[in-house]
Amino acid sequence: MLSTGLRNVSRSVASSSLRASAAASSRQVHSSTPACSDPITTNQAVGTPDFSKVRAPATRAAEESRRAFSYFVLGAFGVTVASAAKQTVAGILDTLNPSADVLAMANVEFDLSSVELGKTSTIKWRGKPVFVRHRTADEIALAVADDGAADLRDVETDAERAYLDPKYLVVLGICTHLGCVPLSGKGDYKGWFCPCHGSHYDLSGRIRKGPAPLNLELPPYKYVEEGSSTILIGERE
C-alpha cells in the first residue's frame, strides 16, 4: 500500500512538472512572437506616397513645352497653306489676265479727218461696231435745238454727247434694246434706226421713239495728242 501511494504521488509530481514546463514553454513562444498589427491600421499609417510636389513642376513644364510645340507646328502649317493658296490664286489670275496683244487691241486709233462731211464710218473696237459721224453745221444745230425736247427718254445735251468736237459724234453701234445694229441716216430723226423693233435715234444718238430705254452708248475716247485729228478709242481724258 505504501509503495502504491508513493507511486501515485510520484506520478502527480511528474505530471505537475510536465504541465508547468509546458506552460513555461508556451509563454516563452508567445513572448518571442511579435503581435500582428491591424492591416487597416497599417495601411492607413503607411498610405500611398505623394509625389505631386516633386513631379508636378516637371509635368507642367513638359505640358507647356508640348503645347508650345503644337502651336508652332499649327502656325507653320497655316503659313505654308496660306502661301500655297496665294501662289495658286496668283497663277490663276495671271492666266485670266489678257495678254499684251489683246491689250493692244483693246485701244483703237482712228483718224477723224478720214470721215467725209455728212457721212458715217464704222470701225470695230473690242468686237463691237463704233459709229463715227462727221456732222454738218445743220445737223449740229438740229441736235442742239432738241436738247430740251419733251420726248427725250434718256436726257443728255448734245455737248455731253459730242464732248471732244461738236463736228464728230462717236457712239457704239448697238441698239440699247436688244443689241441689234441700227442703220445710219435712217428713222424719223435722221440719225439711226433699229430695224429689229423700231427704235429711232436722233443725230446725237439719243433715243426718241421705240422700245429702246437708253441713248446709244458713248465709248471712252480722247485725242492721241493735242492738235491731232486722231483719237484713241478705249481711254478718256
The sign of the CA dihedral 164, 149, 207, 184 is: negative
Residue 20's φ and ψ, nearest 5 degrees, are -65, -40
The active-site residue, picked from 134, 177, 197, 200, is: 197
Query: Any idea what DSSP says for residue 144?
Result: H
Cβ within 8 Å of residue 51, ≥6 positions away: none
Give the Cα separation of 194 and 188 in Å (integer): 11
Cβ within 8 Å of residue 117, ≥6 positions away: 134, 136
For the question of residue 197 being annotated catalytic, the response is: yes
Closest CA to 124 of 76, 178, 197, 181: 181
Distances (CA, A) of 12 to 39, 129, 171: 46, 152, 154
Give the catalytic positions in this structure: 197
